Amino acid sequence: MITSQKATCSYAKVSKNCHPEELRCGSRQWSCASADQCVPDSWRCDGQRDCRDGSDEAACAPEKCGSSEFQCRSSACLHLSLVCDGKEDCADGSDEGGQCSASACGQVQCSHTCYRSPRGPICACEQGFELKSSGGSCEDVDECRRSGGRPCSQTCINTEGSYRCTCHPGYLLEPDGHTCKATGTEPILLVAIQFNLLLYGLRSLKEDILAATDKNLVIFSIDYDLLDQKVFWTELGAESIKWISMDAKKKGTVVKGIKSDCMVVDWIGRNLYWTDGTAGQILAIQLTAVWRGKPEYTIVLGDNLNQPRSLALDPLNG
Ligand SMILES: [Ca+2]
Ligand SMILES: [Ca+2]
Ligand SMILES: [Ca+2]
C-alpha cells in the first residue's frame, strides 16, 4: 500500500525583540488560525488535518452524502440500509425514530428501491444510476461525461447502468479495464548507474545489465540509436566513446583520444555529437564513417564557447 504524506513549509521569522513577524501567506495559500503556518488552498476542508492547530478542517461545509446514503443530523453519512433498522448508527441517533415505523414505502413509487427514514420514505437507485431531479425514477449516470476525472485513458462508451473503455488501434486494454497500453515489444528504460549500463523492462520490471565499464569508471553520458539498436556511452575520465548493441552481442569504440562531457546521437542525420568542456568545443563524427572504419571527427562549434557542459539535439527539425 502506498501512503502519502503532505509536506508543509512554515515560515516564522523571529525578530530581535522576540515577537514573531507577521506571516504573510501566498495568493494560493490559506493561513492557519495560529497565524504561524500557511498551507495550500486545496488542503482546506480536504478531511486531513494539515495546520498544527487543525484550523484547516474547522468550520467546513457538511459532507455531501452519496445517492444511497442518509445524512445524520451530525452531518455524517450512513448507508440507507442502516437507517430505521432499530439500531442507532448515527452518533446522535438521528437515523432512528420519526417516521421509521410507518409503512410509508407502500405509498411512493420508486423505480428501484425504497428505504424508510425518520424523515419519510427515500427512493434510491442501483449502482450506475441516479435519481432524476424530480420523482422517484432512476436514470443512467453518464460516467463518460461526469465531471471530476475521466474514467478511461482513451475512449469511454457509456452504457445503461455502467460504461466501458476501449483503446485506439495499437493499444491494448489493461486488466484494470481503464488503462490503455501500447502493444508490441516491451518498452525499455535505459539507465546508467555508476559503472553499469542497465535495461529495465517497463512491464516485466526485469533488470538486465547491458554493459559494465572496464576499470569501474563511472558512466557519464548515455544515448541510443533506435535505427541501429545501439547504445553509446562515455566514462568519466576515459578518453573514448563506446558502443554496444542492444542484444549485447557486439560492442566497440566509436572514437578514441578525445575528451567528452556530454554525448548525443542524431539518429536521423546519423551523426554523434559531444562537448569538450575544457577545450570549449562541440564536436561531431559521422556514424556511417565509423562503421566503415574511418572514425574522423570535426569541430562543429569552437568559438565563443565557455565550458559547454550539456547538449541536446532536435533531430526531427535538423
Ligand atoms: Ca486539510
Ligand atoms: Ca440504524
Ligand atoms: Ca452509464
Q: What is the CATH number of the domain that holds 83?
A: 4.10.400.10
Domain shared by 121 and 235, yes or no: no
Residue 154 to residue 162: CA distance in whole angstroms: 17
Environment of ion ligand 1 (residues, CB < 5 A): 43, 46, 48, 50, 56
Question: Residue 309: helix, strand or coil by DSSP?
Answer: coil
Q: What is the pLDDT of residues 139-169, one digit of tens each?
A: 999 999 986 668 999 999 999 999 999 999 9
Does the pLDDT of residue 13 top 80, yes or no?
no
H or E segment to which residue 21 belongs: none
Q: How far is the CA of 90 from the centre of ligand 2 (A)?
A: 7
Report yes or no on 169 lying in a domain: no
Domain shared by 225 and 307, yes or no: yes
Q: How far is the CA of 116 from the centre of ligand 2 (A)?
A: 11
Domain shared by 121 and 217, yes or no: no
Contact (Cβ atoms closer than 8 angstroms) between residue 286 and residue 273:
no
Q: What is the CATH number of the domain that holds 232?
A: 2.120.10.30
pTM of this prediction?
Answer: 0.50
Residue 283 to residue 299: CA distance in whole angstroms: 4
Residue 166 to residue 185: CA distance in whole angstroms: 21
Domain shared by 121 and 192, yes or no: no
Contact (Cβ atoms closer than 8 angstroms) between residue 272 and residue 266:
yes
Environment of ion ligand 2 (residues, CB < 5 A): 82, 85, 87, 89, 95
Domain shared by 121 and 194, yes or no: no
H or E segment to which residue 38 belongs: strand 38-40
Q: Of the residues 108, 125, 142, which one is the last residue of a structural domain?
A: 125
Q: How far is the CA of 141 from the centre of ligand 2 (A)?
A: 28
Q: Of the residues 96, 125, 154, which one is the last residue of a structural domain?
A: 125
Q: What is the pLDDT of residues 97-119, one digit of tens each?
A: 888 877 678 778 888 999 989 98
Ligand nearest to the CA of 30: 1
Output phi, psi for 127, to 5 deg: -60, 140
Residue 283 to residue 28: CA distance in whole angstroms: 47
> What confidence category does residue 193 fall into, taking pLDDT thresholds of 50, 70 and 90?
very high
Q: How far is the CA of 121 from the centre of ligand 3 (A)?
A: 26
- For the chain, the domain total comes to 2
Report yes or no on 227 lying in a domain: yes
* Lowest mean pLDDT segment, chosen from 136-150, 170-184, 261-275: 136-150
Cell numbers placing 11: 515560515
Q: What is the pLDDT of residues 72-102, one digit of tens each?
A: 987 788 999 999 999 999 988 999 988 887 7
- The residues, any chain, with a CB within 8 Å of residue 91's CB and separated by 6 or more, are 72, 74, 76
Q: Which residues constitute the domain of residue 83? A: 62-125
